Amino acid sequence: MENISSKIAKNNSKAEAPITANKNENPYEIVKELIKESVEALRLSQGVYSILEKPARVMEVSIPVKMDDGQIRNFTGYRSQHIDILGPTKGGIRFHPKVDLDEVKALSIWMSLKSAILGLPFGGGKGGVIVDPTQLSECELENLSRSYIRALIPIIGPEKDIPAPDVNTNPQVMGWMLDEFDRLRGYNVPGFITGKPIIIGGSQGRIEATGRGVVITIVQAAKRLNIDLKNAKAAIQGFGNVGSMTAKFLHELGVKIIGISDASGGIYSQNGIDVPELIKYVNNTKAVMNFPGTTRIDNDELFSLPVDILVPAALENQITERTAPMIQAKIVAEAANGPTTPAGDQILDEKGVFIIPDILCNSGGVTVSYFEWVQNTMGFYWKEKDVNEKLEEKMIYAFDDVFRMTVEKDIDMRKASYMVGVGRIAEALKARGWVKDWSMPINCKA
């Protein structure tokens, strides 16, 4: 019988698997291919592809940090700014040992597409630092966050590029980063960063926004597929910000969540996991493992569960040629960025699984970040109810736009979402005179 520590070590080693293992799993290669396909399907010029295939600006920075023992460690970080023709670039900052440049580039392109699909006045940006934050003290983490902002100062700002949280960064990290930016500028600039604590200009509802948006898209998909959510079951991979909030809102709708995993491993309960209690438990223990009333499962078992809805809410490349055949769900809601490889995608498609693609599914986060930036600019703050209503309206419009494209062109949701996103960016390229030979009009309803 396997003991607890060897099983945790095994699960952690899965979490540590290289993200860009081979060309077919390199997120930058994957996103370029999808953009190419949609440029062709929209009959746009090669010029559109050449502009969109690479970020306009990528910065690599070294980030010296004074550690608690007095030594200096020099970390490596990146910021990729894809395209800014719809507005300043915008997107999160990730702290993870497996961050690499191609991953950050892909994440910035996905941000451009999300904003275009949601009709937000932003381009895509993304940042990452190669670091395992669990190995840092709180003081070292603060020094790292501040040093990263000092390194990026020439290219960031509320009208240039606006960061936000992503994997392993949170409102506290945003608060330190805002404070560093303000010190360098010499005055308060709350619109420089979003996802910050409410007391210093954060928006009501931003912590919940990505998960809330994921659930709004699941509700829309369930309506189209005639799935009664009150009798539905779900499994969720990842129980950080996005996974836990998705679980909370699905639970509130009456969906029975029978499996949840995080980097420590997975838990299962045939009768449904008590999500509010699990959130409290994880706040204390930092991991889902050993939650009372559950049995332990691994990631493969989680993917194999007999559920209606599967939500990958962790990292890239989880649904692959190997894991896709195990999936029994009718809906895969991509809360994570890039959780499905092209081979995994094809297998799910052949099985008739309805995929809500990442650039639509998880766009609730950047949408409420947009609301936060608007509130910071106005200096007038909205009630949570207003934020949530505006979010729901935008997400439903965006879902409808993508679904309409799926039906009209007889294509899957991923291709449709890329066509909507690429089409709108191409429309802006034409409006600015960057490209001339353009044929297909895309209406921006979102």
Ligand X SMILES: O=C(O)CCC(=O)C(=O)O
Ligand Y SMILES: NC(=O)C1=CN([C@@H]2O[C@H](COP(=O)(O)OP(=O)(O)OC[C@H]3O[C@@H](n4cnc5c(N)ncnc54)[C@H](O)[C@@H]3O)[C@@H](O)[C@H]2O)C=CC1
How wide is the angle at C-alpha 211 spanned by C-alphas 310 and 224, nearest 5°?
Answer: 55
Q: How far apart are CA 399 and CA 297, in angstroms?
A: 33
Beta-carbon count within 10 A of 50 CB: 11
Binding to ligand X (CB under 6 A): which residues in 159-198?
164, 166, 194-195
Beta-carbon count within 10 A of 264 CB: 20
Smallest distance from ligand Y to CB 431, Å: 28
Type of residue numbered 123: G
Among 115, 299, 317, 320, binds ligand Y (CB under 6 A): 299
Pick 341 or 363: Cβ nearer ligand X: 363
Type of residue numbered 217: T
Q: Do the beta carbons of residue 366 and residue 164 sit within 8 Å?
A: yes
Radius of gyration for the alpha carbons in the chain, expressed in angstroms and rounded: 21
Q: What is the DSSP letter of 179?
A: H
Residue 240 in the binding site for ligand Y (CB under 6 A): yes
Pick 289 or 435: Cβ nearer ligand Y: 289
Among 239, 370, 373, 382, binds ligand Y (CB under 6 A): 239
Residue 25 in the binding site for ligand Y (CB under 6 A): no
Pick 148 or 291: Cβ nearer ligand X: 148
Q: How far apart are CA 89 and CA 120, in angstroms?
A: 11
Among 366, 387, 420, 429, binds ligand X (CB under 6 A): 366
Ranked by CB distance to ligand Y, the top (closest) residue is 240
Strands 309-312, 331-333: parallel, antiparallel or unpaired by DSSP?
Answer: parallel
Pick 108 or 376: Cβ nearer ligand Y: 108
Stretch that binds ligand X, among 16-24, 88-96, 244-252, 328-336 (CB under 6 A): 88-96
Q: Which of 117, 127, 210 is nearest to 161 (CA)?
A: 127
Q: Do the beta carbons of residue 299 and residue 327 sit within 8 Å?
A: no
Token pair listed for 125: 């940006």
Q: Check 32, 105, 126, 196 and give the catalytic one.
A: 126
194 binds, among ligand X, ligand Y, none (CB under 5 to 8 A by kind): ligand X
Residue 237 in the binding site for ligand Y (CB under 6 A): yes
Look up 126 and say whether it is catalytic. Answer: yes
Residue 81 in the binding site for ligand X (CB under 6 A): no
Catalytic residues: 126
Binding site for ligand X (CB under 6 A): 90-92, 114, 164, 166, 194-195, 337, 362, 365-366, 369
